[in-house]
């Protein structure tokens, strides 16, 4: 048990160190973009004003309000102090909305879209990979390669094709958004129906892209396990083939959990393009508007969330593995 604790202690230290570096980069990098977003907010409230000293004064007020008149390191500590209290500041591009308010509206859409899509894609991919390894034939020669082909599409290509086929040609799916633009979110049947029909294209585009990669991983793991020595030995002990196949797929599945955890961790960043192409109002879209609007506070907050999710996913993975896979546990104890 001792080696165990030491292992996790070391791991957590490393994760904390990574988090610190990432937080600094998340803060600094957006602010290195050229341009002055404060000036553009100031200019909005100065519409029509031509007096130069008045302009100067208002600009200075905004700069002081956002703290952009201070040195970068000072800004960082102020931001960090506030962030630790849950205050992520005000958005530049959607001024005067709070960043936390914008995120709170966007995150549920992202989770509702991507979590099920990634899990469904992962499950289907693993089932397909297992079937391809065990039954071979058409699954191995045609179905899996087809999904690998589809999976290698860039997300925007996939979205464009789907929009073209289902929205423009067949006219069975809407082109953009999460619900009809003329509706207000309520629990009404019309609204729910609209949400479901808007859900289909972004959902299936993510599922389709996920299947191939997970499938090919599962296939090679399963083939490796099917040829393992324990398969032959178990057979000669009289154990039934279907039971042995159970051992094989369990063992092949365990490393695949890495794939799932990584997709979940990177889901926001990884599938941002899908959200953008379908104008889905999740974190991906929010990030896009933050980048185009030079919205440092919003951008830093988005990247911070992504960083934390990736780190949590990795750490969780490590801990879960230690529990469910004795092969990994044995390594961790060394």
Measured CA to CA, the distance from residue 62 to residue 82 in angstroms comes to: 18
Give min distance, CB of 301 to another protein, in A: 41
140 vs 325, beta carbon nearer another protein: 325
DSSP-derived 3-state class of residue 12: helix
Measured CA to CA, the distance from residue 266 to residue 269 in angstroms comes to: 5
Among 239, 245, 308, 320, binds another protein (CB under 8 A): 239
Give min distance, CB of 325 to another protein, in A: 6
Give min distance, CB of 251 to another protein, in A: 5
Tell me the β-bridge partners of 98: 90
Give min distance, CB of 246 to another protein, in A: 10
Backbone angles phi, psi at 88, to 5 degrees: -100, 10
The 10 Å Cβ neighbour count of residue 114 is 26
Candidate ranges 72-80, 165-173, 206-214, 239-247; the one touching another protein (CB under 8 A)? 239-247
* Contact flag: residue 141 with another protein (CB under 8 A): no
Tell me the β-bridge partners of 90: 98
Among 7, 15, 134, 247, binds another protein (CB under 8 A): 247
Residues 57-116, interacting with another protein (CB under 8 A): none
97 vs 250, beta carbon nearer another protein: 250
Candidate ranges 133-141, 174-182, 259-267, 325-333; the one touching another protein (CB under 8 A)? 325-333
Measured CA to CA, the distance from residue 69 to residue 75 in angstroms comes to: 9
Residues sharing a CB contact under 8 Å with residue 183, sequence separation 6 or more, in sequence order = 190, 191, 194
70 vs 329, beta carbon nearer another protein: 329
> Which pair of tokens denotes residue 276?
């953008």
170 vs 237, beta carbon nearer another protein: 237
67 vs 255, beta carbon nearer another protein: 255
164 vs 233, beta carbon nearer another protein: 233
84 vs 237, beta carbon nearer another protein: 237
Helix orientation angle between 99-135 and 144-151, rounded to the nearest 10 degrees: 150
Residues 248-267, interacting with another protein (CB under 8 A): 250-251, 254
DSSP-derived 3-state class of residue 46: coil
Interface characters, 197-236, with another protein (x: CB under 8 A): -------------------------------xxx-xxxxx
Measured CA to CA, the distance from residue 307 to residue 275 in angstroms comes to: 19
Burial grade of 96 (CB within 10 A; 0-12, 13-18, 19 or more):
exposed
Residues sharing a CB contact under 8 Å with residue 57, sequence separation 6 or more, in sequence order = none
Residues that bind another protein (CB under 8 A): 228-230, 232-240, 243, 247, 250-251, 254, 325-327, 329-330
């Amino acid at each position: 048990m001792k080696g165990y604790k030491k292992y996790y202690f070391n791991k957590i230290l490393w994760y904390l160190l990574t988090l610190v570096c990432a937080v600094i980069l998340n803060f600094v990098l957006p602010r290195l973009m050229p341009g002055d977003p404060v000036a553009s907010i100031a200019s909005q409230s100065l519409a029509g004003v031509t007096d130069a000293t008045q302009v100067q004064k208002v600009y200075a007020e905004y700069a002081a309000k956002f703290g952009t008149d201070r040195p970068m390191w000072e800004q960082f500590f102020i931001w960090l102090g506030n962030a630790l209290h849950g205050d992520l500041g005000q958005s530049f591009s959607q001024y005067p909305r709070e960043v936390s308010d914008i995120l709170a509206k966007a995150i549920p859409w992202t989770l509702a879209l991507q979590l099920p899509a990634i899990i469904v894609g992962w499950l289907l991919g693993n089932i397909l990979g297992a079937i391809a390894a065990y039954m071979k034939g058409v699954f191995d020669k045609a179905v899996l390669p087809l999904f690998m082909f589809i999976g290698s599409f860039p997300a925007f290509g996939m979205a464009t094709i789907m929009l073209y086929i289902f929205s423009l040609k067949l006219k069975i799916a809407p082109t953009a958004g999460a619900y009809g633009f003329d509706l207000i979110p309520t629990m009404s049947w019309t609204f729910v129906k609209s949400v479901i029909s808007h859900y289909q294209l972004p959902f299936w585009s993510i599922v389709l892209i996920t299947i191939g990669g997970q499938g090919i991983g599962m296939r090679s793991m399963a083939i490796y396990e099917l040829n393992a020595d324990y398969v032959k030995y178990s057979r000669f002990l009289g154990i039934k083939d279907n039971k042995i196949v159970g051992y094989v797929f369990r063992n092949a599945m365990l490393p695949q959990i890495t794939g799932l955890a990584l997709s979940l961790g990177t889901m926001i960043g990884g599938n941002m393009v899908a959200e953008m192409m379908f104008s889905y109002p999740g974190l991906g879209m929010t990030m896009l508007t933050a980048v185009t609007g030079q919205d440092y506070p919003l951008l830093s907050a988005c990247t911070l969330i992504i960083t934390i999710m990736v780190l949590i996913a990795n750490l969780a993975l490590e801990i879960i593995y230690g529990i469910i896979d004795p092969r990994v546990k044995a390594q961790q104890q060394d």
